[in-house]
Amino acid sequence: MMRVKVKSEMLVWARERAGLETADLEHRFPKINAWEAEEIQPTIKQLEDFARSVHVPFGYLFLPAPPDEPLPIPDFRTVDGRGVRRPSPELLDMVYACQERQGWYKEFSLTTRQPEAEFVGSAQLQDRAVAVAASMAETLGFDLEARATCRTWEEALRLFIAQADSIGVLVMVSGVVLSNNNRKLDPEEFRGFALADRRAPLIFVNGSDSKSAQMFTLAHELAHLWLGSTAVSNASAAPNGGYRREEVWCNAVAAELLVPLAVLRNDLLHDETVEHAVGRLTRRYKVSSLVILRRLLDSGWLDRAAFDVAWAAERARLRVLAERGGGGGDFYRTTLSRVSRRFARALVESTLEGQTLYRDAFRMLGVAKTETFNHIGQEVGVLV
């Protein structure tokens, strides 16, 4: 039985990188404590299994020291105004996967002479949020009344995604890494990111978040595309400080896009309780209660003191719901939603024409079976 020498430092780094304690791995690797104490070395097979379990490339374990793994895109996430800790393997792998998809689609767009998305980079930070939101609404064909008639948040979000897809945005929504249901994405770590490119503008939305929160994330990341800005965000409707200027601007644009102040003022009732107003307006606009509270403050219907009380209470309520498992879920639990309809259609077409290897197509789609690939082709209208 051949054993390999690996530094304890690297084993500890790999485990902690995955957010795991030794107790989390002992059922599969009974001697992990001995490995980390360098009392015994693992076999090659054990080390390969360990690398898969902690989602680390096998070769990394033989490095002389833990590598620096910054996000490959700007990181605008903050918690209480401070930068966040190093990204999780799940976030890193999701960004890498989307970058690969974007690179492929950019080449496809050039080859097939697709038009560029001229809205990418069309706005600047000094532009007024109201004007930019109006431009976005016109480009997207955003219809508030059509959204209001949607029976559920899921239906409203599906409509919003379809509108973004129609103007050339690759919108990818997933609550897990690729199709691995054991690698869930944490909305407390990030809610979404945008990869700005006129040939292949891409938005990823964390599908583990609530459906109403996903609405705001999508709007926020669209604002990033209008700026021509690539970044990962923890999009928040919060109107107060503690965020980068760009994030504050994108939040303001997203709030105005989803709940235009001029329209909201016509829907306000002055003899209504805060609780009743929030419930009624979230149903009408199909957005989260926090977005409505923010807009009630923006409109002057709530003063700052009343807003602060209502905001704190609502955040506490939503935290309880999330802990009970009532605040999230990937509403589209299918491969098609995870890679976007536009991307899937292009990839299937290219593969069937022999321009892309099936192996590469399967990897980018996150599928393993030809049957699943063919089903996706049928869903996007490429196969009959």
Find the DSSP H helices in 195-300: 211-227, 245-258, 261-267, 274-285, 289-299
What six digits make up the tokens of 98?
């989307």
Candidates 302, 303, 296, 298; CA nearest to 281 is 296
pLDDT at 100: 96
CB of 381 closer than 8 Å to CB of 351: no
Residue 191 DSSP class: S
Other beta carbons less than 10 A from residue 374's beta carbon: 14
207 and 332 in contact (C-beta within 8 Å)? Answer: yes
Whether the full predicted model's pTM is greater than 0.95, yes or no, is no
Tokens encoding 70: 């910054």
Q: How many CB atoms within 10 Å of residue 333?
A: 14
At 204, the amino acid letter reads F
Whole-number Å distance between alpha carbons of 93 and 157: 25
pLDDT along the chain (384 residues), means of 10: 87 89 92 92 93 91 88 77 71 94 97 95 96 96 89 90 96 90 87 96 94 92 97 78 81 95 94 94 92 94 94 86 54 71 95 95 91 89 86
| C-beta atoms surrounding 260 within 10 Å | 18
In the block, tokens 């909201």 appear at 264
SS3 for 243? coil
Yes or no: say if 95 and 193 are a contact pair by the CB < 8 Å rule.
yes
Q: Which residue has the tokens 């690797």?
A: 29
Per DSSP, 43 falls in state B
Strand duo 170-174 + 82-83: pairing: unpaired
Q: What is the predicted pLDDT for the residue at 272? A: 94
The pLDDT, as a whole number, for residue 242 is: 55
pLDDT score at 284: 92
Say if CB 225 and CB 194 are below 8 A apart. Answer: yes
The residues that bridge with 203 in the sheet, in sequence order, are 171, 194
Asked whether the beta carbons of 327 and 321 are under 8 A apart, the reply is: yes
Within 10 A of 68 (CB to CB), how many other CB atoms are there? 6
Residues sharing a CB contact under 8 Å with residue 101, sequence separation 6 or more, in sequence order: 170, 172, 202, 339, 343, 364
